[in-house]
Amino acid sequence: MRASQTLQRALAAESASLPADVLLRYVEGYFADRRRYLDVLGKDPSPLYVLQPQILAQRAREFRAAFEKVLPKVGFYFAVKSNNYPEVSRILLENRFGLDVSSGAELQMALGLGARDIVFSGPGKTCEELLQAARHADRTVVLLDSFHELDRLQQAASSAGCRVRAGVRVSVDPQGLWRKFGISLEDLPAFHQKAGNCADVELQGIQFHSSWNLDPGRQTAFMKKLGLALSASPGEFLASLRFVDIGGGYWPSQGEWMQEAGTPAGMVRKAMDVPVNSAFAHYWNPARSIDVFAEEISAAVRRHILPLADCRICFEPGRWICNDSMQLLLSVVDKKAPDLVITDAGTNAIGWERFEIDYFPVLNLTRPALQERPCNIYGSLCTPHDVWGYSYWGAGLEEGDVLLIPMQGAYTYSLRQEFIKPLPQVVSL
């Protein structure tokens, strides 16, 4: 009965349609730059990732400015996992960001780029990775994920003959899937006590992270819980607190754009093998601006954290910074029917079946028009899930036409995979 009621609620749920003016504004903006994108193909053939450094730097400045004007002491770390192309991290280092790495490979890249301010986060760090961090303790803060990881860091620091700065991650949801990350708030006093017995680890801070934040509600709610836990903590712990790291998960201001299959009702219909994803059905979950995030988060920080600890507030944005800075250029190689074309790139270039769920406009740069037309646009992989979209913007679609899929800078390049077709090269515009 409960499952039936859940299904009925999902089918009855109404998802908001993507406003036509919002979509049209984005399409017009990319068509306005169509000549610049097409000129790229004069030097390099498609498919291509097109990195736009000016957009990346602008997003970095906007994020910094939003929080610097409302908080006294702040730190910013780009989440490398969101886009691990080295040039992206290099540009952000130039814009006074540190780097948030989640593996030994990312740490090695950060060190090679000359990063001086690195946080090493993520669960399951190996002994070798912790030793690598300890050997660069002057540049790296380790965000610990468990009691056992604290033991391993102490061993690594002792072996390296240095003292390592550390923080501890606390879980925002110790009962659900997110219990994978960090320790519970209730275990924070015991963790602090154990860290005090580790001669070569200096516990300086706390991190938490809630993902997919369309608004700051979950972040501010958890800060209230954290403040209550800190108010019951020993005075020496509060005195040692140098930072509270709020993590990332800030959604870009355009919001989440979805195909029908990404909505609750669409998920149910797809599971029941009912056709979904009509050409012109686009949905969205709106997101708050970064200024709203900054205002509400800073209010929560001033209320719940700063009265207890004079510490720096740190942020680890990824998607918000890099989402708009990388686009994909493809070409049509086969028109099999008026409503079916094949492109020269497969979705191995983004690493997952994104466009069965997410919606991004496919723009025909060769035949531009501010009209959306139905067409199943597939990649060239030997799988039916190799889908770019179910419509395109343009005056027609023929073999040789160049297509642009915008806003593919976050969790695409990092997830690309060697599968059947070669991966696109990266060019800067």
User: What was the pLDDT predicted at 169?
Assistant: 97
Q: What token pair was written down for 349?
A: 């270039």
Instruction: Give dist(CA 204, CA 346) in Å, integer.
Output: 45
Instruction: Give dist(CA 74, CA 80) in Å, integer.
Output: 19
Closest-CA residue to 15 (of 273, 268, 217, 323): 268
Closest-CA residue to 159 (of 200, 108, 104, 203): 200
For 67-104, what is each residue's pLDDT tens digit? 999 999 999 999 999 999 999 999 999 999 999 999 99
The DSSP bridge pattern shows strands 326-337 and 48-51 to be: antiparallel
Q: Is the pLDDT of residue 170 over 50?
A: yes
Contact 168, 183 (CB under 8 A): yes
For 9-26, what is each residue's pLDDT tens digit? 544 457 899 999 999 999
Contact 327, 426 (CB under 8 A): no
Q: Where are the alpha helices (DSSP H) in 135-234?
A: 147-160, 188-196, 217-231
- Alpha carbon of residue 142 to chain centroid: 20
Helix (H/G/I), strand (E/B), else coil: 350: coil
State the pLDDT confidence band at 175, using cuts at 50, 70 and 90: confident
Instruction: Give dist(CA 118, CA 126) in Å, integer.
Output: 18
User: What was the pLDDT predicted at 13?
Assistant: 56
Q: Write phi, then psi, for 213 (nearest 5 degrees).
A: -90, 105
* Average of per-residue pLDDT values in the chain: 94
User: What was the pLDDT predicted at 268?
Assistant: 85
State the pLDDT confidence band at 197, using cuts at 50, 70 and 90: very high
CA angle 102, 386, 343 (to 5 degrees): 110
For 384-414, what is each residue's pLDDT tens digit? 999 999 999 999 999 999 999 999 999 999 9
State the pLDDT confidence band at 5, using cuts at 50, 70 and 90: very low
Q: Is the pLDDT of residue 382 over 60?
A: yes
Contact 227, 303 (CB under 8 A): yes
State the pLDDT confidence band at 4, using cuts at 50, 70 and 90: low
For 126-160, what is each residue's pLDDT tens digit? 999 999 999 999 999 999 999 999 999 999 999 99
CB atoms < 10 A from the CB of 303, how many?
13
Most confident of 175-179, 269-273, 329-333: 329-333
Determine the average pLDDT of the residues in 274-299. Answer: 92
Contact 81, 358 (CB under 8 A): no
Instruction: Give dist(CA 38, CA 46) in Å, integer.
Output: 10
Instruction: Give dist(CA 263, CA 412) in Å, integer.
Output: 21
Instruction: Give dist(CA 52, CA 329) in Å, integer.
Output: 13
Q: Which helix (H) or strand (E) holds 66?
A: helix 53-68
For 36-69, what is each residue's pLDDT tens digit? 999 999 888 999 999 999 999 999 999 999 999 9
Determine the average pLDDT of the residues in 219-226. Answer: 97
CB atoms < 10 A from the CB of 45, how many?
13
Q: Is the pLDDT of residue 265 over 60?
A: yes
Helix (H/G/I), strand (E/B), else coil: 396: coil
List of domains in the chain: 8-50+323-428 (2.40.37.10), 54-254+285-322 (3.20.20.10)
